[in-house]
Amino acid sequence: MKLLIVEDDTTIRNVLRLSFQSEGYIVDEADNGDDGSYLARTNQYDIIILDNILPKKLGKEVCKDIREAGKTIPVLFLSTKSDVLTKIDILDSGADDYLSKPFSYEELKARIRSITRRPKNIAAQTYTIGNVHLDSDKNEVRISGKEIAFTRKEFALLELLMKHQNNVVSRGHIMEHVWDMNADPFSNTIESHILNVRKKIGDANRRLIKNVPGRGYKIVATC
């Protein structure tokens, strides 16, 4: 899962980034509303965590930018203000949920799980192709019932391919969903990670993960 954190408090932003990365999330971040609005409108995320009081542009204005751009991505607000009128104003801007500061990280994760499970966003959290079973909630991959250890990016890469099984996923789409905005799009990092994933799922003969020349990769439902 890939998320965007827009938060001007460096301590909160760093704690959230490190906490989510340790659980396998791909994280982009911004410390002001202008940058947050740009990233949200030009990249693909599974959820956006958005502070309300931000330099350059308020969070509710960023949320309006996102909705006006036609993005339906879930937005969860963080704010020090907890009065009813503030909450109404934020929800009316297009937000999906609201959490007052200070907050519990465990509650934040629970809110994210709740939002991303809504039918309009994500219909399934588990994927099975052949003897490969991936559970997004548990951050777990099993091959013929045996759990196999995957790095954060290997897991995200396999998850993306399995979500789009039988369809070609371009290198650009992979970079956008699996790597953060600082990744070098001209490196061979995708190829090396594909190789590692193939080894771990026992696909050395490339019958499961196909390389589509000039287009990208796809994982096929039947070998």
User: Do residues 106 and 142 both lie within one domain?
Assistant: no
User: Do residues 13 and 98 both lie within one domain?
Assistant: yes
Kindly tell me if the per-residue pLDDT of 120 is higher than 60: no
Kindly tell me if the per-residue pLDDT of 109 is higher than 50: yes
Say what the pTM is.
0.60
How would you classify residue 169: left for phi > 0, otherwise alpha for psi between -120 and 50, otherwise beta?
A: beta
Kindly tell me if the per-residue pLDDT of 129 is higher than 70: yes
For residues 128 and 211, give the distance between their C-alpha atoms in angstroms, rounded to a whole number.
20
**Contact between residue 51 and residue 78 where contact means Cβ atoms under 8 Å apart:** yes
Contacts of 7 (CB under 8 A, 6+ apart): 13, 16, 29, 31, 49, 50, 51, 54, 78
Please give the angle made by the CA atoms of 25, 29 and 35, to the nearest 5 degrees. Answer: 145
98, 116, 134 - which closes a domain: 116
58, 93, 116 - which closes a domain: 116
Q: Which of 14-23, 134-143, 185-194, 199-208 has the lowest mean pLDDT?
A: 185-194
Q: Does the residue 105 lie in any domain?
A: yes
Q: Does the residue 121 lie in any domain?
A: no
User: Do residues 112 and 161 both lie within one domain?
Assistant: no
Domain containing 205: what range? 126-219
Q: Which of 2-16, 75-89, 129-143 has the lowest mean pLDDT?
A: 75-89
